[in-house]
Amino acid sequence: MNDRPPLDEVALAEPGAAARAASSAVWLDAAELHALRLAAQGVPAPGQAAAVARLRDALARVDGARPVIVLDDPVLRDTRAFDAIAQTLAAALGADGSALAQACIVVLGDPLADAADERGAAAASALDTLTDAVADMLFEVRRRADGYFENQALPLPGYASAGTDLLTAEAVRAWLAADADAGVHVLRGDLRITWHALAGAAAQAIGVDTRPASAGSGTDALAELLGANLLHAMHRLGCAGEAPQRAEGVPPRRLRCAPFDWRSRVAARVALHAAAHASRTAPRLAELPAARRITTGTGHAFLHTGRGPRALLLVNAFGIPNDVWHDFAAALAPEVAVYLLDALHEQSADAGLTRLYYTEPEAPSRYADAVAELLDLEGLASIHVASWCGGARYALALARALPGRIASLSLIAPSFAGAQDYDGADSAYENNLNTMCSLVARMPKAAESMAKSMLAMLDKRDKDEARSGGHASMLAQADAVTRHWLHAPFVTPSNMVDYSRQLLNFRAHRIEAQRDDTLAGLPALLVTGQYDEMTCATRAHAIGDALLRPLRIELRGGSHHMIHQNAALLAQLVGGFIADPALAAGALPHPRLCMAAPPAGEEMESGEL
């Protein structure tokens, strides 16, 4: 929405008049407008009665003054269906709809930079949302390599003129005090903030330099990630201009919004991100609110959190602490009941190594029996399954063992190390693990030296990548405060021995060798990371296509550790998928997620200790 109507000069009202104008108006937000649209169609919806009551209240509590209704709705901004909104509100009111004829209906054609309504809205303002889009990318980098921007400038996104127009609450109040005539009015603002200016202000707030995106045919990954975040923010605000354009029907009025110190607000918002970054710690799964443990008749313990009409079983990578799922489970918990195989006695005494999977060759079949017990115990006819890394093989085995009881599979950054007769090859990391664990299995006394070698190699890789300055190596890293999860198998000789046994059992569990159509009708999602250097996406796609025919999604900028690093985004994706497996490209929750074709070919390197 970059068309800019002529400026509608409105003198600033006296503070008392502006306050009275604002207090007499009823502001309706996106959720309330959605409920009212459904009410107009005769479709019941949560929150509908409250929204209709607020609309009636706007028409009833006027004391002789003209009723004023302010609509702040991204959908309305995006579609520009301004001329139809009065009819929609009237239909929602039913018999009381005629009272709208004398009302002043104000549509915010641009979002508010400083969100404020008569209820003192606590929600983030449009400027907060846009600032978060920049800060989220800045601190996603710093979580991996805190000093990355000491040697590298932040590349600004392309399209130097891209930006958005914003309104201010003061400008809206002034207009309400001066010109609240009956009818529908669309207000736009003259406060324009470009992406470059916004990113520059956010970066400056934490001492990060900026530069133009790289010219030429090469890609600039950080600029692309920043652009994707900003595009998503504008879509949420209704400013992305993605809906089919139509005539607005109501000429907009553009209000002067100066003076407005938006840079100080950006700096304050970024400071909140910086404070959260400075105090970050690795989460603990057992500390999720309302988490409870369930023990089956055979003694298997499952952790359960969340509630909702759908249930999801999480299958972890062997040897890695279950804490890696904390943020993902927390994001799903309001709407999904989440379950995960867990064990109370396996906490910190053994430095975080989990011994829940691949403890022996028969472990996958016993796991399937435990899940069947869990479903019966919880009264669940079926359950969705999401796996990470090596948990993919357990997920496939579970679907084969419990036909009809597994509702869908979501394989996130899957590893099929050791698979044969498929395209692709083991990654360098998978090769290193196999070499090391095979040696430890033959010579347990070598466990201590092998563990030290592996830790040294991991530490060296992290330091080298932090110094190299390359965005690819940096984006492949785990977050600094959670690297001990990856190191857990190698911190003690006993961990090394147990992990080696798990890894060899995992590599021998070639469930993917059973090529048939048993799972072909099962809804499936396969998510790979653009910068996952620890597994092979080519092989994952080949196995997925042969057995499941999944929806293939790539997370731009995603590493192997995406299940924690991008937990909220992946929870949106998986939550949407299990609610409606017919996921379309247009339904993906963020531009960083894209439908992925199998890679034409990957260069795989062999790694040796």
C-alpha separations of 149 from 90, 124, 208, 476, 560 in Å: 54, 27, 6, 16, 22
Asked if residue 324 and residue 273 are part of one domain, the reply reads: no
Tell me what the mean pLDDT of segment 583-587 comes to: 78
Give Dmax (Cα) for the chain.
90
Tell me what the mean pLDDT of segment 347-354 comes to: 59
pLDDT digits (tens, 9 = 90+) for 250-263: 889 999 998 899 99
**Of residues 5 and 525, more confidently modeled:** 525
- pLDDT at residue number 548: 94
In a domain, residue 482? The reply is yes
Asked if residue 302 and residue 188 are part of one domain, the reply reads: no
What values do phi and psi take at 384, rounded to 5?
Answer: -80, 155
Asked if residue 252 and residue 304 are part of one domain, the reply reads: no
What are residue 552's DSSP bridge partners? 526
Tell me what the mean pLDDT of segment 354-381 comes to: 95
Nearest CA to 186 among 252, 88, 101?
A: 252
**Of residues 202 and 78, more confidently modeled:** 202
- pLDDT at residue number 1: 44
In a domain, residue 605? The reply is no
The span from the CA of 146 to the CA of 477, in Å, is 12
In a domain, residue 401? The reply is yes
Asked if residue 173 and residue 101 are part of one domain, the reply reads: yes
- Kindly indicate the confidence band of residue 10, based on its pLDDT and cuts at 50, 70 and 90: low
- Kindly indicate the confidence band of residue 348, based on its pLDDT and cuts at 50, 70 and 90: very low
The span from the CA of 141 to the CA of 465, in Å, is 13
- Kindly indicate the confidence band of residue 61, based on its pLDDT and cuts at 50, 70 and 90: low
Q: Are strands 383-388 and 68-71 parallel, antiparallel or unpaired?
A: unpaired
E strand or H helix at 255: strand 252-255
Residues in the chain: 609
In a domain, residue 603? The reply is no
Tell me what the mean pLDDT of segment 82-95 comes to: 88
Say if CB 384 and CB 313 are below 8 A apart. yes
Is the pLDDT score of 216 beyond 50? no
Q: What average pLDDT is seen over the chain?
A: 87
Q: Which domain holds residue 543?
A: 285-595
Tell me what the mean pLDDT of segment 19-38 comes to: 81
In a domain, residue 608? The reply is no
Is the pLDDT score of 264 beyond 70? yes
Please say which residue of 277, 297, 322 terminates a domain. Answer: 277
The span from the CA of 521 to the CA of 232, in Å, is 33
Q: Which residue is it, tokens 């003209």?
A: 66
Asked if residue 374 and residue 341 are part of one domain, the reply reads: yes
Tell me what the mean pLDDT of segment 387-406 comes to: 97
CATH code for the domain in which residue 530 is found: 3.40.50.1820
Asked if residue 390 and residue 248 are part of one domain, the reply reads: no
Question: Cis (ω within 30 of 0) for the bond into 44?
Answer: no
Say how many C-beta atoms besides its own lie within 10 A of residue 139's C-beta. 18
SS3 498: helix
The span from the CA of 586 to the CA of 591, in Å, is 10
The span from the CA of 419 to the CA of 543, in Å, is 9
Based on the structure, what is the number of domains in the chain? 2
Residues 6+ positions from 350 with CB-CB distance below 8 Å? 492, 494, 495
Asked if residue 12 and residue 95 are part of one domain, the reply reads: yes
Asked if residue 368 and residue 295 are part of one domain, the reply reads: yes
C-alpha separations of 484 from 29, 62, 351, 436 in Å: 44, 62, 9, 19
The span from the CA of 138 to the CA of 149, in Å, is 9
- Kindly indicate the confidence band of residue 6, based on its pLDDT and cuts at 50, 70 and 90: low
- pLDDT at residue number 604: 38
Is the pLDDT score of 22 beyond 70? no
Say how many C-beta atoms besides its own lie within 10 A of residue 74's C-beta. 20
Say if CB 425 and CB 604 are below 8 A apart. yes
C-alpha separations of 251 from 107, 322, 438 in Å: 11, 56, 73
pLDDT digits (tens, 9 = 90+) for 591-600: 999 998 655 5
- pLDDT at residue number 609: 34
In a domain, residue 607? The reply is no
Residues 6+ positions from 521 with CB-CB distance below 8 Å? none
Please say which residue of 234, 254, 277 terminates a domain. Answer: 277
Question: What percent of the chain clears pLDDT 70, i.e. is strictly above it?
Answer: 87
- Kindly indicate the confidence band of residue 60, based on its pLDDT and cuts at 50, 70 and 90: confident
Please say which residue of 248, 277, 306 terminates a domain. Answer: 277
Asked if residue 380 and residue 237 are part of one domain, the reply reads: no
Say if CB 5 and CB 254 are below 8 A apart. yes
Asked if residue 357 and residue 268 are part of one domain, the reply reads: no
Asked if residue 271 and residue 307 are part of one domain, the reply reads: no
- Kindly indicate the confidence band of residue 217, based on its pLDDT and cuts at 50, 70 and 90: very low
- Kindly indicate the confidence band of residue 4, based on its pLDDT and cuts at 50, 70 and 90: low
Asked if residue 264 and residue 337 are part of one domain, the reply reads: no
pLDDT digits (tens, 9 = 90+) for 298-342: 889 999 999 889 999 999 999 999 999 999 999 999 999 999 998
Is the pLDDT score of 54 beyond 90? no
Q: What is the pTM of this model?
A: 0.90
Highest mean pLDDT among 64-68, 159-163, 269-273: 269-273
pLDDT digits (tens, 9 = 90+) for 96-141: 778 888 899 999 999 999 976 555 545 679 999 999 999 999 999 9
Tell me what the mean pLDDT of segment 391-420 comes to: 97
Helix axes 195-205, 262-278, angle to 10 degrees: 50
In a domain, residue 355? The reply is yes
Tell me what the mean pLDDT of segment 29-40 comes to: 92
Structure tokens at 117: 């309504």
In a domain, residue 602? The reply is no
Write out the DSSP string of 41-87: TT---TTHHHHHHHHHHHHH--TTSPPEEEE--HHHHHH--GGGHHH
The span from the CA of 261 to the CA of 271, in Å, is 16
Where are the extended beta strands (E) located within 72-160? 104-108, 154-155
